[in-house]
Amino acid sequence: MSTLNEPTLNSALLALAQGTIQIHDLTAPLSEETPTLVLPDPFANLIDFSIEEVSAYNEPGPFWKHHNIHTGEHIGTHIDAPVHWINGKEGKDVSQIEPHRLFGPAVVLDFSAEAAANPDFLVDVEHLVAWQEENGAFPANAWLLFRTGWEQYDNDEQAFLNLDESGSHTPGFTVDCAKYIADELDISGIGVETVGIDAGNAGALEPPFPMHHFLLGADKYGITSLKNLDKLPTNGAMIVVAPLPVVGGTGAPTRVFALVENA
């Protein structure tokens, strides 16, 4: 993309201006209809997102319109910081995540066919090993984005959470896979299309919620409720993860972009 006499950043800016690099928004819009995680009793749930009008060009504020927003940290497209989980309680809050960890190569691993056949499908170590044997090692500082086709349900809370009397049924990762990602891969984090980085039934695994357990304890991060992964190549895209830097925050609403060079 750049020449020997042309600075790389200037070349990238020119490519953006000329449309030879496209920007894809991977963020689900945040509203009162956004599906949210439901924890069973006796666990406490976060509040859902809501917006409250304070003024709208009227007596409380004649020249402006503004709102209060009310939301839990882990609602909609959001990031999980290490302090979100007991294994990472001595780690970073969301404001302390270094910016260079929030930019990096995006690797899309497509398990949409498997998830369509079985909503409880779990990615295992063998899937990641096979991908690397075919495509090469995952790049350093990469974000692994797991495409399951789940974004098709994001306007239908019942289908998105897929709850029944036995719990939630959404795809995720085995315990061994979570440990492998945490211990063996030099990446910044993972991204999913579902409501959380663990499978819907991950509370029954040992340890429970292994992606949270292993990743956050290893200073790796998770982003959830992603969209438009089908617009990205398997590799070669760049991801930009932009959370609100909430001091003390265990997570935050996050805007996520991918930069893709046109073929």
- Angle 244-246-47 from CA coordinates, rounded to 5°: 85
Please state, in angstroms and rounded to a whole number, the distance separating the CA atoms of residues 251 and 223: 9
215 DSSP assignment: I
Catalytic residue among 74, 78, 84, 212: 84
For residue 66, what are the CA distances in angstroms to 32, 38, 242, 245?
Answer: 17, 30, 23, 21
> Which amino acid does the sequence have at 179?
K
From first CA to last CA, the distance across the chain in angstroms is 12
What is the full DSSP assignment across 22-61?
Answer: EEEE-BPPPSTT-----PPTTSPPPPPPEEEEEEEEETTE
Please state, in angstroms and rounded to a whole number, the distance separating the CA atoms of residues 238 and 95: 22
- Angle 58-64-65 from CA coordinates, rounded to 5°: 85
84 tagged catalytic: yes
Please state, in angstroms and rounded to a whole number, the distance separating the CA atoms of residues 160 and 151: 8
Long-range contacts of the stretch 82-88 (C-beta < 8 A, 24+):
82/216, 82/217, 82/219, 82/221, 83/250, 84/212, 84/216, 84/250, 84/251, 85/209, 85/212, 85/213, 85/216, 85/217, 87/212, 87/213, 87/214, 87/216, 87/217, 88/216, 88/217, 88/219
Residues identified as active-site: 84
